[in-house]
């Protein structure tokens, strides 16, 4: 098992290194000269050359990559071309918006999805179930940025209840800040909740078919008690696993939503940085997000290994022969389902 | 969508009977056909010419003359949605084609050969999956410039590992089967077995995944166009229409409402269709859903 | 509908419960569209830098007032030598920078030398090109020597990029701008707002406002609600789009449409066939219907122009009738050029609404004479390198916002690739002409040459859509330079 874990770690590290090279290479071929952009229409060629030297853009490619990579390792991301402040400071400011946004969205999504999932599972095949799952189908189909526009129209333009966009900053008071995060969080959460509700329902249905649940019911425990106390607790394992995994995608998924609501978060920063050719900022944030994804994937692999050392992490090979007990099967299914939902949610980030 | 594979044991008649009893499938199919029909109709007829700007008629509210209103150039929104369907379908279809065309052979190859080839493929997959898709699509279009073709490429690239993974997982489940062993014993090569036995047996899987990716492709195209990186004017596109609508939410909300509904309905239809196909052709998946 | 609205409003009322009470009326929150990358006007071309800092944080030797006239600023007076080459500026005394250091002639010499140095990164370096020497006579007098008489020199010294920076603080100005102005930077919440506070040690008339916050609000969807709710009390230039009517009908707000120095033009690559033929350019000019473009790209607010000159400036000649909208005439011009079957070309559009929207209208209009345009959207970075630097384009739409910039058509290597010796001579004469009337006459002539020769199709002057609380006084109507000068802004109550 140690060997397996070691292999996963090495692979993750290798992926990171490769990713950093890809990111750096992409930045190299991005058309447009950041120095030109900063100096504008009246700058002379000499001036641009001076600035390029100052920015270190004229150094050899390999040297620049090594310099940048070494900086990343020591958490020194360099200085933003446009804002001329350390990228670390910029990122810290922006995470203070994006992270709470993603967390609120995650919480909202859970609060909506779990009861719906339980409700549906307990009424499997009946009208309530059909209705709830129909709504979930609809939720999955709604592009979150369009949903965001509709929310803006309803609550900001029509009812004047919340600001249509912008972020007053945490210094303006927690309430004011939360208020401006509310609509974006709802817009992000709804499609996620739709996916999660479907997963929660099927996980629950699966647990309800397990022998020990039947035993519990045979013993005369009321259905409600079995559902909430036993089944849900066990079905939570896959649901929680997926929640954890969705989180990284929510963080990245804020790119469009932050642009709709003009929130000064990571997503908006990276979007601006791309158009302003603030390459160093783009590189840093992309690496940050990639690292988050890789780390979370690594954690999933670890959880695999912990529950079943024989597993080597691909659903295709997973067919039979699980050890007894509930956890392994469920986590595996969860991961399997996560891969499905991830594929589903890829398009919506 | 990874699922257990079984050889189709049912007759075509049986499948058809099931199809007509499956609500998801029927509704999904009806919606999908409707969208395709509208897109085809737009080639020969739309209520108004979408290439003609009539500034005098700009941002008019829905009326009998313009059911869904007009946009900021006075173009009829209903007509634009009809023409936009073409763009959405084309982009998503080609993107799925790219994903399948490259991903399926890669996945099948990895499953057949195993070992180093398999390992290498999976590592590249990991690498691609490590990048949030929209972010990468934004960077791809930043390099090559915005436009429908580059949007297709950006979305297509992210379909490749999806199909590679599904194909590989599906194929790995088939390889240990007895009939494959028999084929090997008969001296058939890896390629031949893959083409003759493996691929037909995972066709269902690929069909379902294809439908899902198709729906995702439409969402992704809308997302890219919404940030201004997809189809370019004068070609109408649903996401592009939402982009134009965003700054006019106060005065012309209909510019946002109707194209968005077109996206929702199309994606909903495709998802229902995908679920329906999975139900009909793979009974075991029914329980899980 | 109404009932629903009430119910919904009630249901979500708790969200709105904590709306902030209005602060004392020495506060002002202004909306701006773009966040400046940094706050050093001598180191960046972004217009937002000047919009916030000019006259508020930083001051120059002279300054440009609301009407575009040159006024004394840090220099209280000046004398010009008879040959027009030497300017002696008498500086105000008792002026202090925001960091407490005293302002003197040394800082002026430092600022001008820095701006014209070889490794200078000043975005408006040509402003300083004619300076040959800057000498400090005494702490309150600076002598600037030019290589020849310059008709525009005092005006140049009042531009955004010519502000005076402190010798000891210049390098930190991007993040912590240290100027001499009536306001100083309080804080900058990146991505959301920039707050200025009154400078208690200001040398001149102190500002009426204690605090001014520039909040970043990129478009109408956010701007209108923010204005209606009172979160923002003023937009010097509102991203209004079609929503303006909603504000216009509300008596709480003043809507003041002014002019800018932004000539919005369809730039033509004059060396690239077929655009090197005058008849082709004339065809473009005749095929284009300005009023439709202004309606679509400027909400009907921009003033049509027929040459490269702002209608608000002295010396303006109305030349919009030189090539009236006439499809048949346009086709005739094409025939003259041997292109009666039309041709195809590309148009590169930078990411601004006037260009992207205007481009679509032009595409549709040119289709009527058989010219097929392919739209290529580009980011500013690409526009600057592809179009502006490498001249790799056919057509583009852009607004030239620098004041008095008709001379760009005579600059060698400028992206229009326009080369007309007659025009060049005219500009040379203009440069060295100091007499006001003679200058206006020459300017009029230059406008006429451009209008007839069509090195670009002139569309409209970018409007300044001022929207602010009706009780607010002292906001600028026009933008002779892009600046939100708050020195005279106050609440009427």
Q: Is residue B132 within 8 angstroms of chain A, CB to CB?
A: yes
Q: Provide φ and ψ at A65, rounded to 5°.
A: -60, -50
Buried-exposed string B30-41: b where 16+ CB fall within 10 A, e elsewhere: ebbeebeebbee
pLDDT interval class at B105 (50, 70, 90): very high
CB contacts < 8 A (B, C) = 72
- What DSSP string runs through chain B? ---------S-HHHHHHHHHH-HHHHHHHHHHHHHHHHHHHHHH--SS-TT---GGGTTPPP-SSSTT-B-TTS-BHHHHHHHHHHHHHHHHHHHHHHHHHHHHHHHHHHHHH-HHHHHHHHHHHHHHHHS-HHHHHHHHHHHH-SSHHHHHHHHHHHHHHHHHHHHHHHHHHHTTSHHHHHHHHTT--HHHHIIIIIHHHHHHHHHHHHHHHHHHHHHHHHHHHHTT-SS-TTS--HHHHHHHHHTTTTT-THHHHHHHHHHHHHHHHHHHHHHHHHHHH-HHHHHH-
Residue B270 has pLDDT above 90, yes or no: yes
Does residue C57 contact residue C39 with C-beta atoms inside 8 Å?
A: yes
Residue C99 has pLDDT above 80, yes or no: yes
Q: Is residue C296 within 8 angstroms of chain B, CB to CB?
A: yes
Assembly ipTM:
0.86
Q: Give the end-to-end CA distance of chain C in Å, rounded to a whole number.
A: 39
Question: Do the chains contact at B143 and A149, CB–CB below 8 Å?
Answer: no
pLDDT of residue A343: 46
**Average pLDDT for C85-101:** 94
pLDDT of residue C461: 94
pLDDT of residue C39: 93
Please enumerate in sequence order all residues whose Cβ is within 8 A of that of C138, keeping only pairs 6 or more positions apart, or say none.
C105
Residue C112 has pLDDT above 90, yes or no: yes
Question: Do the chains contact at B2 and A19, CB–CB below 8 Å?
Answer: no
Residues of A in contact with C351 (CB under 8 A): 275
pLDDT of residue C225: 74
pLDDT of residue C35: 85
Q: Is-cis flag, bond preceding B228, omega within 30? A: no
Mutation for B interface: A8, A131, A141, most B CBs within 10 A:
A141
Mutation for C interface: A27, A29, A36, most C CBs within 10 A:
A36
Nearest C-alpha neighbor of A223 from the set A326, A123, A114: A123
Does residue C345 contact residue C395 with C-beta atoms inside 8 Å?
A: yes
Identity of the residue in A36, A43, A268 whose CB atom sits nearest the CB atom of C125: A43
pLDDT in tens, B46-98: 999 998 888 888 889 999 999 999 998 999 999 999 999 999 999 999 999 99
How large is the angle between the packed helices A144-151 and A174-208, nearest 10 degrees? 130
CB atoms within 10 A of CB A92: 10
Residue C1 has pLDDT above 80, yes or no: no
Alpha helices in chain A (DSSP H): 2-29, 34-39, 45-54, 61-73, 87-122, 127-141, 144-151, 174-208, 211-218, 223-225, 232-261, 266-275, 279-307, 327-346
pLDDT of residue A241: 62
Closest-CA residue of chain C to B232: C375
Buried-exposed string B180-206: b where 16+ CB fall within 10 A, e elsewhere: beebeeeebeeeebbeebbbebbebbb
CA torsion sign, C212 to C218 to C220 to C226? negative
Q: Is residue A255 within 8 angstroms of chain B, CB to CB?
A: yes
Q: How far is A79 from A85, CA to CA, in rounded Å?
A: 5
Closest-CA residue of chain B to C246: B251
Report the SS3 class of residue A59. Answer: coil
- Higher pLDDT residue, C15 or A163? A163
Give the distance from residue C164's alpha carbon to the nearest chain B alpha carbon, in angstroms. 38
Give the distance from residue A60's alpha carbon to the nearest chain B alpha carbon, in angstroms. 21
Q: Which tokens sit at C315?
A: 């010396």
Identity of the residue in B53, B233, B248 whose CB atom sits nearest the CB atom of C241: B248
Question: Do the chains contact at B246 and C239, CB–CB below 8 Å?
Answer: no
How much of chain C, in percent, has pLDDT values that exceed 70?
94
Domain extent listing, chain A: 2-73, 93-348
pLDDT in tens, C49-74: 999 999 999 999 999 998 888 999 99
Q: How far is C313 from C447, CA to CA, in rounded Å?
A: 12
pLDDT of residue C207: 93
Nearest C-alpha neighbor of A195 from the set C311, C479, B216: B216
Q: What mean pLDDT is reported for chain C?
A: 89
pLDDT of residue C183: 96
Q: Is residue B143 within 8 angstroms of chain C, CB to CB?
A: no
Q: Which tokens sit at B156?
A: 């297509």
Q: Is residue B253 within 8 angstroms of chain C, CB to CB?
A: no
pLDDT of residue C15: 41
**Average pLDDT for C138-152:** 92
Domain extent listing, chain B: 19-45+68-288
Q: Which other chains touch chain C, taking contact as 3+ CB pairs less than 8 Å apart?
A: A, B
Question: Do the chains contact at B134 and A349, CB–CB below 8 Å?
Answer: yes
- Higher pLDDT residue, C401 or C207? C207
Question: Do the chains contact at B130 and A202, CB–CB below 8 Å?
Answer: no
pLDDT interval class at B285 (50, 70, 90): very low
Residue C132 has pLDDT above 90, yes or no: yes
Determine how β-strand C70-72 pairs with β-strand C62-64.
Answer: antiparallel
Q: Which tokens sit at A83?
A: 């804002």
Residues of B in contact with C351 (CB under 8 A): 228
Mutation for B interface: C33, C217, C221, most B CBs within 10 A:
C221
pLDDT in tens, C337-350: 999 999 999 999 99
Q: Bridge-partner residues for C65, per DSSP?
A: none
Question: Do the chains contact at C125 and A268, CB–CB below 8 Å?
Answer: no
How much of chain B, in percent, has pLDDT values that exceed 70?
93
What are the pLDDT tens digits along chain A (349 aa)? 677 788 888 988 988 999 999 999 888 888 878 888 777 777 778 888 888 888 888 888 888 899 888 888 888 888 888 777 889 988 888 888 888 998 899 899 989 998 998 889 888 888 889 899 999 999 989 998 999 999 988 887 778 777 777 777 787 788 888 888 999 999 999 888 998 888 888 888 877 777 777 787 777 777 777 777 777 777 766 666 666 667 766 766 778 888 888 888 888 888 888 887 888 888 888 898 888 888 877 776 676 566 554 444 333 333 222 222 233 344 445 445 544 544 444 333 3
pLDDT of residue C298: 87
| Contacts with A, C 21-40, CB within 8 Å | 37-38
Q: Is residue A230 within 8 angstroms of chain B, CB to CB?
A: no
Identity of the residue in C219, C296, C367 whose CB atom sits nearest the CB atom of B55: C296
Q: How far is B231 from C311, CA to CA, in rounded Å?
A: 37
Q: Please calculate the CA angle C77-C184-C484 and round it to the nearest 5 degrees.
A: 70
**Average pLDDT for C268-272:** 95
Question: Do the chains contact at B59 and C360, CB–CB below 8 Å?
Answer: no
Q: Is residue C248 within 8 angstroms of chain B, CB to CB?
A: no
Q: Which other chains touch chain A, taking contact as 3+ CB pairs less than 8 Å apart?
A: B, C
Q: Is residue A259 within 8 angstroms of chain C, CB to CB?
A: no
SS (H, E, C) C111-178: HHHHHHCCCCCCCCHHHHCCEEEEEEEECCEEEEEECCCCCCHHHHCCCHHHCCCCCCCHHHCCCCCC
| Contacts with A, B 187-246, CB within 8 Å | 209, 212-213, 215-217, 219-220, 222-223, 226-227, 242, 245-246
pLDDT of residue C107: 95
Mutation for A interface: C118, C120, C160, C221, most A CBs within 10 A:
C221
Q: Which tokens sit at C146?
A: 């030019």
Nearest C-alpha neighbor of C32 from the set C210, C197, C234: C234
Q: Please identify which residue in the block is written with the tokens 């309150």.
A: C140
pTM: 0.82
Question: Do the chains contact at B145 and C221, CB–CB below 8 Å?
Answer: no
Report the SS3 class of residue C103. Answer: coil
CB atoms within 10 A of CB A60: 8
Identity of the residue in A34, A84, A160 whose CB atom sits nearest the CB atom of C381: A34
What is the fold of B19-45+68-288?
MetI-like fold (1.10.3720)
CB contacts < 8 A (A, B) = 167
Residues of A in contact with B267 (CB under 8 A): 140-141, 143
Does residue C415 contact residue C274 with C-beta atoms inside 8 Å?
A: no
- What DSSP string runs through C236-284? SS---GGGHHHHHT-TTEEEEEEEEEEEEEEEE-TTSTTTTSHHHHHHH
How buried is residue B232: exposed, middle or buried, by Cβ count under 10 Å (0-12/13-18/19+)? Answer: buried
Question: Do the chains contact at A143 and B173, CB–CB below 8 Å?
Answer: no
Mutation for C interface: A151, A159, A278, most C CBs within 10 A:
A159
Q: How far is B58 from A313, CA to CA, in rounded Å?
A: 57
What is the fold of A93-348?
MetI-like fold (1.10.3720)
Please enumerate in sequence order all residues whose Cβ is within 8 A of that of B286, keeping only pairs 6 or more positions apart, or say none.
B279
- What DSSP string runs through A119-138? HHHHTTTSHHHHHHHHHHHH
Q: Is residue B192 within 8 angstroms of chain C, CB to CB?
A: no
Q: How far is C319 from C306, CA to CA, in rounded Å?
A: 4
């Amino acid at each position: 098992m140690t060997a397996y874990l070691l292999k996963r770690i090495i692979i993750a590290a290798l992926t990171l290194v490769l990713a950093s090279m890809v990111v750096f290479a992409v930045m190299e071929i991005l058309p447009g000269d950041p120095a030109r952009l900063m100096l504008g229409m009246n700058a002379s060629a000499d001036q641009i050359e001076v600035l390029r030297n100052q920015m270190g853009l004229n150094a050899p490619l390999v040297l620049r990559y090594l310099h940048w990579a070494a900086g990343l390792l020591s958490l020194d991301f360099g200085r933003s071309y446009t804002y001329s402040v350390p990228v670390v400071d910029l990122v810290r400011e922006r995470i203070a918006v994006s992270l709470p946004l993603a967390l609120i969205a995650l919480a909202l999504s859970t609060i909506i999805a779990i009861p719906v999932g339980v409700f549906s599972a307990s009424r499997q095949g009946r009208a309530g179930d059909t209705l709830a799952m129909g709504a979930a189908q609809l939720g999955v189909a709604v592009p979150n940025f369009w949903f965001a526009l509709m929310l803006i129209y309803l609550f900001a333009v029509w009812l004047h209840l919340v600001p249509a966009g912008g972020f007053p900053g945490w210094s303006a008071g927690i309430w004011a800040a939360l208020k401006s995060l509310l609509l974006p969080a709802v817009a992000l959460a709804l499609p996620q909740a739709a996916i999660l509700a479907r997963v929660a329902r099927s996980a629950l249905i699966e647990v309800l078919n397990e022998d020990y649940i039947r035993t519990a019911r045979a013993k005369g425990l009321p259905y409600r008690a079995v559902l909430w106390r036993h089944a849900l607790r066990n079905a939570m394992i896959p649901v929680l696993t997926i929640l954890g995994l969705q989180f990284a995608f929510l963080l990245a998924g804020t790119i469009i939503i932050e642009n709709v609501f003009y929130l000064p978060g990571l997503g908006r920063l990276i979007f601006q940085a791309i158009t302003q050719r603030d390459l160093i900022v783009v590189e840093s944030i992309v690496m940050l997000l990639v690292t988050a994804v890789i780390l979370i994937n690594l954690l999933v692999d670890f959880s695999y290994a912990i529950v079943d050392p024989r597993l080597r992490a691909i659903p295709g090979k997973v067919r039979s022969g699980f050890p007894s007990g509930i956890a392994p099967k469920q986590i595996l299914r969860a991961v399997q389902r996560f891969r499905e939902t991830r594929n589903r949610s890829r398009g919506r980030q | 969508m990874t699922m257990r594979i079984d050889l189709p044991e049912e007759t075509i008649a049986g499948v058809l009977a099931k199809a007509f009893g499956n609500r998801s499938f029927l509704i999904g199919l009806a919606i999908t056909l409707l969208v395709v029909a509208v897109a085809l109709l737009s080639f020969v007829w739309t209520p108004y010419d979408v290439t003609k700007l009539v500034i005098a008629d700009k941002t008019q509210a829905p009326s009998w003359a313009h059911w869904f209103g007009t946009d900021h150039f006075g173009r009829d929104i209903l007509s634009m949605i009809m023409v936009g369907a073409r763009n959405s379908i084309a982009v998503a279809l080609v993107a799925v084609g790219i994903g399948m065309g490259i991903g399926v052979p890669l996945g099948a190859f990895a499953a057949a050969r195993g070992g180093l080839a398999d390992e290498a493929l999976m590592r590249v997959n990991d690498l691609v999956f490590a990048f949030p898709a929209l972010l990468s699509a934004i960077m791809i279009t930043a390099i090559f410039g915005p436009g429908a073709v580059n949007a297709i490429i950006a979305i297509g690239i992210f379909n490749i590992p999806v199909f590679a993974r599904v194909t590989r997982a599906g194929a790995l489940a088939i390889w240990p089967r007895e009939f494959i062993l028999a084929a090997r014993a008969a001296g058939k090569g890896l390629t031949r077995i893959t083409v003759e036995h493996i691929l037909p047996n995972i066709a269902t899987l690929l069909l379902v995944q294809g439908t899902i990716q198709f729906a995702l492709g439409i969402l992704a195209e809308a997302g890219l166009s919404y940030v201004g990186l997809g189809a370019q004017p004068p070609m109408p596109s649903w996401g592009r229409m939402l982009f134009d609508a965003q700054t006019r939410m106060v005065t012309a909300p209909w510019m946002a409402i109707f194209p968005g509904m077109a996206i929702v309905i199309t994606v909903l239809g495709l998802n229902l269709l995908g679920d329906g196909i999975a139900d009909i052709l793979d009974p075991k998946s029914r329980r899980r859903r | 509908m109404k009932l629903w609205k009430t119910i919904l409003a009630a249901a979500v009322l708790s969200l709105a419960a904590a709306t902030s009470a209005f602060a004392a009326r020495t506060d002002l929150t202004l909306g701006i569209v773009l966040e400046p990358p940094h706050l050093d006007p001598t180191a960046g071309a972004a217009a937002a830098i000047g919009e916030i800092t000019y006259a508020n944080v930083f001051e120059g030797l002279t300054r440009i007032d609301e009407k575009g006239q040159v006024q004394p600023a840090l220099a209280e007076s000046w004398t010009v030598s008879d040959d027009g080459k030497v300017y002696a500026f008498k500086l105000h005394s008792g002026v202090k920078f925001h960091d407490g250091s005293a302002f003197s002639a040394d800082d002026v010499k430092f600022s001008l030398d820095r701006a014209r140095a070889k490794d200078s990164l000043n975005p408006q370096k040509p402003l300083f090109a004619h300076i040959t020497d800057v000498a400090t006579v005494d702490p309150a007098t600076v002598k600037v020597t030019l290589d020849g008489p310059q008709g525009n020199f005092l005006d140049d010294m009042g531009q955004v990029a010519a502000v005076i920076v402190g010798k000891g603080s210049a390098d930190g100005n991007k993040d912590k701008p240290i100027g001499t102005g009536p306001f100083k930077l309080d804080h900058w919440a990146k991505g959301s707002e920039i707050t200025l506070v009154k400078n208690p040690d200001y040398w001149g008339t102190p500002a009426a406002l204690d605090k001014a916050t520039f909040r970043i609000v990129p478009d109408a969807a956010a701007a209108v609600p923010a204005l209606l709710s009172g979160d923002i009390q003023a937009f010097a230039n509102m991203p209004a789009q079609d929503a303006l009517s909603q504000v216009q009908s509300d008596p709480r707000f003043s809507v003041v449409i002014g002019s800018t120095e932004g000539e919005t033009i369809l730039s033509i690559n004059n060396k690239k066939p077929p655009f090197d033929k005058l008849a082709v350019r004339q065809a473009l000019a005749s095929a284009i219907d300005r009023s439709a473009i202004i309606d679509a790209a400027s909400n009907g607010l921009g003033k049509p122009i027929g040459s490269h000159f702002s209608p608000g400036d002295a010396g303006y000649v109305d030349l919009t009738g030189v090539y009236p909208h006439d499809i048949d005439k346009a086709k005739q011009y094409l025939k003259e050029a041997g292109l009666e079957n039309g041709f195809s070309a590309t148009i590169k559009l930078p990411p601004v609404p006037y260009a992207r929207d205007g481009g679509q209208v032009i595409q549709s209009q040119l289709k009527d004479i058989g010219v097929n345009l392919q739209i290529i959207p580009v980011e500013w970075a690409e526009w600057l390198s592809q179009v502006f630097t490498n001249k790799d384009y056919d057509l583009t739409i852009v607004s030239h916002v620098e004041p008095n910039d008709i001379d760009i058509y005579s600059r060698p290597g400028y992206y229009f690739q326009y080369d007309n010796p007659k025009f060049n001579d005219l500009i040379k004469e203009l440069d060295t002409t100091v007499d006001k009337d003679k200058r206006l006459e020459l300017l009029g002539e230059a406008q006429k040459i451009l209008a007839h020769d069509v090195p670009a199709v002139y569309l409209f002057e970018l409007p300044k859509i001022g929207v602010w609380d009706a009780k607010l006084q002292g906001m600028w109507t026009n933008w002779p330079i892009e600046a939100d000068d708050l020195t005279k802004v106050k609440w009427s109550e």
